[in-house]
Amino acid sequence: MELSHVDNAGKARMVDVSNKDETVRTAIARGVVRMKPDTLQTILDDNNKKGDVLQTARLAGIMAAKKVPDLIPLCHTIIVTGAKVDLETDPELPGVRIEAEVRSTGKTGVEMEALQAVSIAALTVYDMCKAVEKTMVVDNIRLVKKTGGKSGDVLIEK
């Protein structure tokens, strides 16, 4: 198997996408932040000293989707045409479920943008609540769907 980000000498390189077709590309990623029920209750009661946890995490996730090449060295700079980050409290976890959907029309996919959006949203939840609980766990960040591009549509989970 040939790795696309490594040249013949084994050195890291950015993939040349200049000959790829521009297509509409989407990616959906998910993850969770597990916490104690009391910590979740502070979010539900909007009683966090740092402010609105879910709204702050949503904005952080959207901002993160636009900053991927600043943090992941071999990712291309792309125009993110849409980024949606949803956070849902879940007493069964207990914690917060996060889903990000990112769109672009371009020559390369947006999987990393969706994954980074979820990651940063989760870390923001952690940061906003760490004064209440230090034992929260950011968990199960994964790609669940992608569309567009040469490899076509991939559905990993519904």
Give domain status of residue 129, yes or no.
Answer: yes
Give domain status of residue 158, yes or no.
Answer: no
Q: What is the strand order of the sheet 82-90 is part of?
A: 82-90, 95-106, 23-34, 137-147, 154-155
Local confidence pLDDT in tens for the 158 residues of the chain? 566 777 777 777 777 788 888 889 999 999 999 999 999 999 999 988 899 999 999 999 999 999 999 999 889 999 999 999 999 999 999 999 999 999 999 888 899 999 999 999 999 999 999 999 999 999 999 999 999 988 888 889 88
Give domain status of residue 8, yes or no.
Answer: no
Number of domains into which the chain is organized: 1
Domain of 120, CATH number, reads 3.30.70.640
DSSP 126-141: HHHHTTT-S--EEEEE
Domain of 117 in residue numbering reads as 23-147
Task: State if pTM tops 0.75.
Answer: yes
Of 46, 127, 139, 153, the active-site residue reads 127
Give domain status of residue 6, yes or no.
Answer: no
The reply to whether 127 belongs to the active site is yes
